[in-house]
Each structure stands twice: as C-alpha cells, then as structure tokens.
Amino acid sequence: MKGVTIEDRDAKGVLNFDLKDILELAGGRAITSHWKLAMVEALGFQPAEKLHFLCESGTIVEGQILMNLAANVSQVIDGTFEAFDGCAKSPWLVIDAVDGAAYDVRSNDESLLDKLRAHFKSVSDLPE
C-alpha cells in the first residue's frame, strides 16, 4: 500500500488540520466503510471519550459515526484508523495520527493519495 505523510502547520507550528479533514477528502467511501480503531488518544470531552471507548472495546465503527466524532473532537493526537469495504479482510485506507505532529495515510486508492497531495502543502511520500 502506498502512502503519504502530511505535516501542514500554522504560523505557530501547530497542525492546521485533523482527522476530519482527511475523512472529508476520502468522501463517500469513508462514510460507507467500517472502521477499526487502535491506540486512539484524542481531546474534546464527550466525542473524545466516545472515541476512546470505541477503541478500547474493539467496536467496529460505521463511517458516518467516525465522521461525526472526528468533526467534534478538539484534536486527535494518536491512533490508527483502518477502513474496510464490506466484508473485506484488508483495509483500503489506514490513517495513523502520529503524536499530534503528523498524519501518515496509506491507501490502495491512488486517486485519494493524489487528492491529499493536491490539498495539503507539506506532503511527502512514505517509503514502500
């Protein structure tokens, strides 16, 4: 799976995007996917607590629910988010939040990776 690292920052050196922005660019396929969450750490009261609960319980999360939670957290600091189509055994998309400093995004959907490269400014390809 090919991928990119995204590190766009504002003038203060803080990431100026979050998980919700990547999910929005992934579009309808992200909404219809089923998601596995691992090692999630987020800030933002109830939405963050819900993400932590879903991660710790091993619950498979519907895409729309993940989109809603991601839109309402203050920040996703760490975590791995894997998207699966239907009954697929392998994810089509893996998003890793890396210590609040970057996002690594891997996908077998080259058009999504191209969209990420075009949308964000500080993007580099991950080694294969």
Q: pLDDT, tens digit, for every residue of 5-50?
A: 999 999 999 999 999 999 999 999 999 999 999 999 999 989 999 9
How far is Cα 25 from Cα 114, in angstroms, rounded to an integer? Answer: 11
Reported as a single tens digit per residue, the pLDDT across 41-55 is 999 989 999 999 999
DSSP 11: T
What are the φ and ψ backbone dihedral angles of 91, each rounded to 5 degrees? Answer: -75, 150
Classified as helix, coil or strand, 59 is coil
User: What's the length of the chain?
Assistant: 128
How far is Cα 116 from Cα 105, in angstroms, rounded to an integer? Answer: 9
CB 120 within 8 A of CB 15: no
**pLDDT tier at 102 (50, 70, 90 boundaries)?**
very high
Tokens, residue 70: 């991601």
pTM for the predicted model, two decimal places: 0.96
